[in-house]
Structure 1
Amino acid sequence: MSATAVLSPDVIDKYEPVIGLEVHVQLLTETKAFCGCANKFGAAPNTNVCPVCLGLPGALPVLNRKAVEFATLTGLALNCQVRERSIFARKNYFYPDLPKGYQISQFDKPIAEHGWIEIPTPNGGIKRIGVTRAHMEEDAGKSIHDGFADSLTKTYVDLNRCGTPLVEIVSEPDLRTPDEAFEYLTKLKEILLFAGVSDCNMEEGSLRCDANVSVRLKGAPKFGTKAEVKNVNSFRYIRAALEYEIERQIEIVESGGRVAQETRLWNAGEGRTYSMRSKEQAHDYRYFPEPDLPPLIVSEEWKAEIAKSMPELPEARRKRMIAEYELNEQDAQTLTSSREFADRFEEVAGKAKNPRRVANLLLSELGGRLKAANLELDQSPISLTGIGLAADLLEESKISSKQLKQLFDISFEKGEDFPAVYEREKPQQITDASAIEALIDQVIAANAAQVAQYKGGKKTVAGFFVGQVMRASKGQANPALLNELVTKKLDAQ
């Protein structure tokens, strides 16, 4: 059954999708969860391994304290209840990249549960998405497949990832559209990055997401049969995979078929999912308590100590910056797109005469040039210190907006920072009223027709005179003073 058939909006509107997400997040520790091997991406295959993460006889796990702190911090950031006593368990299954034959995880007593994330809705409201649990576990190795599906020829196994500390974050089935899933993942990634627990690099596998999706008739009390979609490596593809899968399932139900409970893989090149394996019967992982690890105790004192290290999270920071710097919602959203960006902005804005000007220059003047040049902020020839200087010069009327644009152009052309360009070029603004009046008189004398239009009630002609005087002054006339004097001179005619 294919979702390529065109379903009418009326048919699609009869159904309600039900979506839940399972997100695996690698924690940003220096070493692995239960051994001293380096927790680092990119090493030669099968080099960051030892008897513990390979599960060799006699090797015993020792829990990484920093991983516990990061897991606790994750739970607190997601508004979860952090258990004082949680249990590690063995999740038993056999796969080539799982050398022990089991994965150390948590089952019925996870470290954190009953949390939530708030996402924006299209009508400007807020929807709360429940977080069922956030539990600790170790990662498996990585199977690298040569080919795809029926054309698969070889599989290579790299065990470097074995034992990497993870937190698995499981949402409630509260999501109802692919767009909501996209917003949830965006907010979750924001929170994790601000908390500093992971780099969330999907290309390197630091953040991986599986989506469970089913459809039911609107108003139906029970969920439909769900399919799990794996192998999705970007939020954009997750949204596309969900859109495809929802239509595929509706098409099956509409034609009188039955949706199979199965795991499916997303093929981004073809824009569709493929069946991977059946899940008609729940897989029996034979969970039992990990005999080599005692119960994990996170005391109230330790939890309070960890909570003190919690940085200001993105939503709270946006609200504060809006109030403190008089930013609008959109600018605050952009400035808090990453913790580093927000930190660098506030470092400059806190010293500036007008923080709002810093934001405007950073997002419009600098942002526009970076986009045109296809550069990132850290590749900009103009530093944030330079942005701060430019904002202060504008605020003090030492340069005009036009002069600033010219100086920024020179900075990008020569690859020099703004302070150096300004010091060399040193444009001066004319603030002497008598000098500006003399230029206005010349322009008025040369443009009798426009003067008559102004006297006839067409007040917008004043802009023509401002432009002519600015040209005559080579952009050096103080704009505010110029506008005031032009109006005064024309009214006196």
Structure 2
Amino acid sequence: MGYEAIIGLEAHVELNTNSKMFCSCRVVDSTNSEPNCHVCPVCSGMPGALPSINKRAVEIGILVSLALNCNIETTSIFARKNYFYPDLPKGYQISQYEKPLATNGHINIGDSQNTTKIHIRRVHLEEDTGKLVHTNDYGKTKGVSLIDLNRAGVPLLEIVSEPDIRSPLEAVNYAKELHSVLTYLDVNSGDMEKGVLRFEANVSLRVTGSKQLNARREIKNLNSFKSLQRSIEYEIEQQIAAYKANKTIRQETLGWDESNGKTIFQRSKEHSHDYRYFPEPDLPPINVNDEWKKE
């Protein structure tokens, strides 16, 4: 019995803007800046601090969406994505859900002789989280996790593909094509080692020829083309072995251990209703007309 891989990718793109998504704090390189020096009441989640939309981030989002052949929605709204994690100071992330910035795009991969169209489900704006630093130092900070909020609130564009990808190589080709578009437009540095472009792979298997979609596993925070390909290859092997042993595949969120070449269980994968999305009451809708698109 043969199996077919069903793969979808989510790209998290940090945008080249001077200030953060919902406040005036300067965007800095979080890998070499002094921790917690570019933080204000808005991006640190202080009660009563009100956000405002970064117009330049919206313009970049429209530009990228047009380059990806997407339909720009006339009206899009921000929503609160509710979950708890130490690097999320507000206890929710401002994102978009029911009404994203753009939908129904595509990227062509391959060459002129053999082209594959990968459809893009949605493109939406959101804010990045802070950064956790896990220490192995001696003394008071040994074995603790430190939080740096310089990255909290940095503008992110999330680009979600349809599950049209059928192999690890196709996934890498799609990621490289997207990387080329973003760097050509000069909206992202493309420096994946610094985490400014991160991928998440959703992987499931089905019997070749079947139309059924089975439980998928999500591999998070893949910041190189090598780790993207290796992690998908490993996960496909794991799922094939599980099906052959008559085991049940559970919907899970995984990390990737590059040094050991294997995935690591993190948690059971959430469903959208677990995040209790609701419209962000402190931000107005984004209304995009034809004149703004032409600009």
CA offsets per residue over residues 273-315 of structure 1, 9 Å max, x none?
A: 111111276661111111111111111111111xxxxxxxxxx
Q: Let me know the Cα RMSD of the aligned residues.
A: 1.5
1:26/1:200 contact within 8 Å kept? no
Which segments of 5 or more consecutive residues in structure 1 lack a partner in the other structure? 1-10, 306-493
Deviation at 1:146, TM superposition (A): 3.5
The answer on 1:69 being equivalent to 2:69 is no
Helix, strand or coil for the counterpart of 1:240?
helix
The answer on 1:224 being equivalent to 2:217 is no
Match of 2:116 among 127, 135, 149: 127
The answer on 1:187 being equivalent to 2:177 is yes
Equivalent position amino acid for 1:22 in 2: E
The residue correspondences of 1:238-253 to structure 2 (distance < 5 A) are: 238-253=228-243
Runs ≥4 residues deviating over 2 A: 279-283
2:119/2:162 contact within 8 Å kept? yes
Equivalent position amino acid for 1:211 in 2: A
Q: Distance in 1 between matches of 2:272 and 2:88?
A: 20
Helix, strand or coil for the counterpart of 2:214?
coil
The answer on 1:24 being equivalent to 2:12 is yes
Normalised to the residue count of structure 1, the TM-score between the two structures is: 0.57
Match of 1:296 in 2: 286
Helix, strand or coil for the counterpart of 2:194?
coil
Match of 2:139 in 1: none
Higher CA-based Rg: 1
Match of 2:132 in 1: 143
Structure 1 or 2: larger strand share?
2
Match of 1:374 in 2: none
1:34/1:62 contact within 8 Å kept? yes
2:101/2:125 contact within 8 Å kept? yes
The residue correspondences of 1:76-475 to structure 2 (distance < 5 A) are: 76-120=66-110, 124-146=113-135, 153-279=143-269, 284-305=274-295
Q: Distance in 2 between matches of 1:19 and 1:164?
A: 28
2:76/2:101 contact within 8 Å kept? yes
CA offsets per residue over residues 339-395 of structure 1, 9 Å max, x none?
A: xxxxxxxxxxxxxxxxxxxxxxxxxxxxxxxxxxxxxxxxxxxxxxxxxxxxxxxxx
May I ask how many residue pairs the two structures share in their alignment? 288
CA offsets per residue over residues 393-427 of structure 1, 9 Å max, x none?
A: xxxxxxxxxxxxxxxxxxxxxxxxxxxxxxxxxxx
Deviation at 1:153, TM superposition (A): 3.1
Deviation at 1:145, TM superposition (A): 2.4
Equivalent position amino acid for 2:238 in 1: R
Equivalent position amino acid for 1:199 in 2: S
2:218/2:269 contact within 8 Å kept? no
Deviation at 1:154, TM superposition (A): 2.1
The answer on 1:37 being equivalent to 2:25 is yes
Deviation at 1:269, TM superposition (A): 0.4
Normalised to the residue count of structure 2, the TM-score between the two structures is: 0.94
Deviation at 1:220, TM superposition (A): 1.1
Do the aligned partners of residues 174 and 34 (structure 1) sit closer, same or farther apart at CA in structure 2, a change above 3 Å counting? same
Q: Distance in 2 between matches of 1:127 and 1:31?
A: 37
CA offsets per residue over residues 444-472 of structure 1, 9 Å max, x none?
A: xxxxxxxxxxxxxxxxxxxxxxxxxxxxx
Identity of aligned residues (%): 51
Which segments of 5 or more consecutive residues in structure 2 lack a partner in the other structure? 137-141
1:51/1:59 contact within 8 Å kept? yes
1:115/1:133 contact within 8 Å kept? yes
Do the aligned partners of residues 114 and 253 (structure 1) sit closer, same or farther apart at CA in structure 2, a change above 3 Å counting? same
1:119/1:126 contact within 8 Å kept? yes
Structure showing greater relative contact order (alpha-carbon pairs closer than 8 Å, 6 or more residues apart): 2
Q: Distance in 2 between matches of 1:244 and 1:124?
A: 30
Equivalent position amino acid for 2:27 in 1: N
Helix, strand or coil for the counterpart of 1:32?
coil
Structure 1 or 2: larger helix share?
1
1:260/1:280 contact within 8 Å kept? no
Do the aligned partners of residues 129 and 157 (structure 1) sit closer, same or farther apart at CA in structure 2, a change above 3 Å counting? same
Q: Distance in 2 between matches of 1:248 and 1:181?
A: 18
Q: Distance in 2 between matches of 1:182 and 1:222?
A: 25
